[in-house]
Amino acid sequence: MYPNRLAARLALLATAVGGVLLVGWPRAGPRPAAPHPALWPLDADVTGRVRAIAARLLDELDTALAHAEAVDAANARESALDSARLAFRRSEALLAFYAPEVRQRLNSTEADEGDDDPDAGRLADRGFARLRTLGQTRLARDSARAELRRMRAALARARATFAQLETGDALVLEVTRLEVARVSTIGITGADAAHPRRAMRECAAAIDGLRGLLATMRMGAASLDARLDSATKYLGRHQAVDTFDRYVFLTRYAAPVFTELAAAQQRAPGPSLPLRRVWPRAATNPLDGRSLDPMAFAPLDAPRSDSTLVSLGARLFRDPALSGDGQRSCASCHQPARGFTDGLARAQPIAAALDDVGVMRHTPRLAYAGWQPTQFADGRAATLERQVDLVLASRTEMRSSTEAAAGRLGLAPRVVRTALAAYVRSLGRFDAPFDRAMRGDSIAMGLPERRGFNLFMGRAGCGSCHVPPLFNGTAPPAFVASPPEVIGVPSRAGARDVDPDSGRAGIDRLAGHLHAFTTPSLRNAALGGPYMHNGALRDLDAVLDFYDRGGAAGRGVPLPTQTLDPHPLHLSRADRHDLVAFLHALVDGPSYTMNGPSSLP
C-alpha cells in the first residue's frame, strides 16, 4: 500500500463528492446523504442520455473485470487489469458523484475503525488497490478472482443507482468540473494509478470519459470539448511520469478548461438553494486559493467574518488578558514575524504550569489553518472555534478558559471565540509566487521553482499528501478530509527511533493511528524551522533528508503502520535545490508574513 497511500484519501474524498461537498460537510460525524436532485434544474432528455452513457460505461468496466477474472496467465491478467482500470477512469466521474460508495469499493485504501478490532485504524486495500498489491502465487490468483467478483457485485449496485439518477446541464457541468479538479491535483501525482508510469494514461481516460458526458447536454459545449480534447492529447503525448511537466499542464491546459467550465456554468442555472462549499460553484480554478471559502470549515452557526470581527480578533490575539496569569497572549507563541510560530523545537509552557507540564509539541504555524477540517497535530478539534476553547483551557498553554477570559475583557464568550477564529481565518492570502503563476503570471516562478514543483508533484511524492492548492492534507475536489499520516519522525535529529508521542491514537485509540499526525500546510514553511510535531528537524535540508531516506521504515526502524513510502527517493543535490526553491515559491509577500495582514490595527 505504500506507493499509493493517497488512495485512502481518495476514498474519503470520492465518498464526499456526491453529497458532502455539495452540502458543505466539514466536521467529524456521520456523512449526510446526497442532496435531493430537486435542488438542481433537471432535464428529462439529458437524464435519458446520461443514463445511457452511464450504463455503457459500466458495461465496459464489467466486461473488463470479467475478462481479468477469467484469464490465468500473469501477463494476460495484467493487461486485462490495465484495460479495466482505464474503463474505471472513464466512468469515475459519474461513480464519484452518484455512487461514491461503489467508487470507494472499486479503488481505495480504507482504515478499519471497528471498535472491537485490535487493528482498528490500520489500512486495508480494496478493489484495484488490493489487486495492485497481490503477487503471482496461486493463492494470490485466487484472492484476485475473489476481489474481482466483489468489485463486479459493487457494479451491480451502481447500475441500480444509475438507472434512477436524474440530471440536467448544470449537474453534468458540476460532475465534469469535479473530475477535472481531481485529475489536475491528485491524478497527475500518479499516487492513485496502478503504477506511476501509467498515471497519465489514466488521467487521459478520465478526461476522455467527460467528453462523452458533455455531449448529453442540451446546450452546446464545443469550446469546452475542444479544451478537454487538447488536455487529453497533451496527457497522451507525455506519458513519462518523471518528465511530465505538470506546470505546463496546469497553466496551459487545465486552466483554460476551468475557464470554459465557468463560462458554461453561467449559461446553466445552478441549485435553487445556496450551499456552503469550500470550492463554490461560481469559482473558476480550484488551484486559485482565493476562491476557497474557509467558512465551509466553520460551525454552521459561526458568523461570516468581516473587517470588524477580524480586527477585534487581531486585538484579542495580542492581548495577555486571555491567559490565566495575564502574562501570555496568542502572539507570544504564534509570532507574526516568524510566520506565526516561535522558532523553538517545542512550545514553552506557561509560567504557572512549569511544575505541572507534560511533553510539549512544536508550535504550529497558524497561516492557512482556517482551510483544514481538523486542528492540532492530533486533529482533536474539528473547528477553529473549538481550538480556541481548548487552547485557553489548556493548563500548559493559557491556563484559563473562554468564559474566564471573556469576563476579564468584558465580552461574551461567544464573541471571544468567534473573533479569534475569524482572525485566524484571515491568515491566508494566497499571494505566493505559486498562486500568481496559477493565475496566469508566467514569470512568477522561475525554472528552479518549476522544476521543484514537478519533483514535488511527481518523483519526490510530496504532492500525494501535501495536496495543492492548500498543500496540506485537504485535497480537491471535496476539501473535506485530511487523514492522519504515520511517517516515523525521530525523537531528535539523527536518532534511530520513533518519537513516543502517540499522535492521533491518543485521541481515537485506534492502533493504526499510533504516531499518526495531521498533514500541515507547507505554505510559508520556508520562512524557517524547526519542523515536525516535535521540532526534531531543524531545517529544510534535514526534512528532505528524512523523506529521501523513507521515514522510520526506510531507516530500518520497525513501524508497521507507516503510511510514507519507505523506499529511498534518490534525490540529487540539484533535486534538493529545486525542491527548496519551490517551497520558497509558497511563501506569501513580506508585508504579510512579517506583520500579519496589512489591514490590522
pLDDT tens, position by position, 375-392? 999 999 999 999 999 999
Q: How confident is the model at residue 10 (pLDDT cuts 50, 70, 90)?
A: very low
Question: Using CA atoms, how far apart are residues 363 and 332, in angstroms rounded to an integer?
Answer: 11
Q: What is the pLDDT of residue 131?
A: 87
In the predicted model, is pLDDT for residue 159 greater than 90? yes
Average pLDDT for the chain: 87
* Residue listed under C-alpha cell 483554460: 256
Alpha helix ranges (H) inside 25-121: 44-70, 74-98, 100-106
In the predicted model, is pLDDT for residue 180 greater than 60? yes
User: CATH topology for 307-425?
Assistant: Cytochrome Bc1 Complex; Chain D, domain 2 (1.10.760)
Q: What is the pLDDT of residue 277?
A: 84
In the predicted model, is pLDDT for residue 517 greater than 80? yes
Q: What is the pLDDT of residue 597?
A: 46
* Residue listed under C-alpha cell 497572549: 329
Q: Check residues 145 and 23 and name the one with the higher pLDDT.
A: 145
Give the alpha-carbon dihedral of 185, 187, 190, 191, to 10 degrees: 80
* pLDDT, tens only, 226-281: 999 999 999 999 988 889 999 999 999 999 999 999 999 989 887 766 667 899 88
Question: 5, 483 in Cβ contact below 8 A?
Answer: no
* Residue listed under C-alpha cell 469550500: 278
Where along the chain do the CATH 1.20.1420.20 domains lie?
Answer: 2-286
In the predicted model, is pLDDT for residue 353 greater than 60? no
Question: Using CA atoms, how far apart are residues 477 and 214, in angstroms rounded to an integer?
Answer: 19
Question: Using CA atoms, how far apart are residues 478 and 181, in angstroms rounded to an integer?
Answer: 9
Q: What is the pLDDT of residue 86?
A: 96
User: CATH topology for 2-286?
Assistant: A middle domain of Talin 1 (1.20.1420)
Q: Hey, CA dihedral for 105, 107, 113, 118, is it positive or negative?
A: positive
Q: Check residues 543 and 77 and name the one with the higher pLDDT.
A: 543
* pLDDT, tens only, 451-460: 999 999 999 9
In the predicted model, is pLDDT for residue 2 greater than 60? no
Q: For 452-476, what is the mean pLDDT?
A: 94
Where along the chain do the CATH 1.10.760.10 domains lie?
Answer: 307-425
In the predicted model, is pLDDT for residue 13 greater than 50? no
In the predicted model, is pLDDT for residue 501 greater than 80? yes
Alpha helix ranges (H) inside 323-401: 330-333, 384-393
Q: What is the pLDDT of residue 27?
A: 39
Q: Check residues 169 and 32 and name the one with the higher pLDDT.
A: 169
In the predicted model, is pLDDT for residue 413 greater than 50? yes
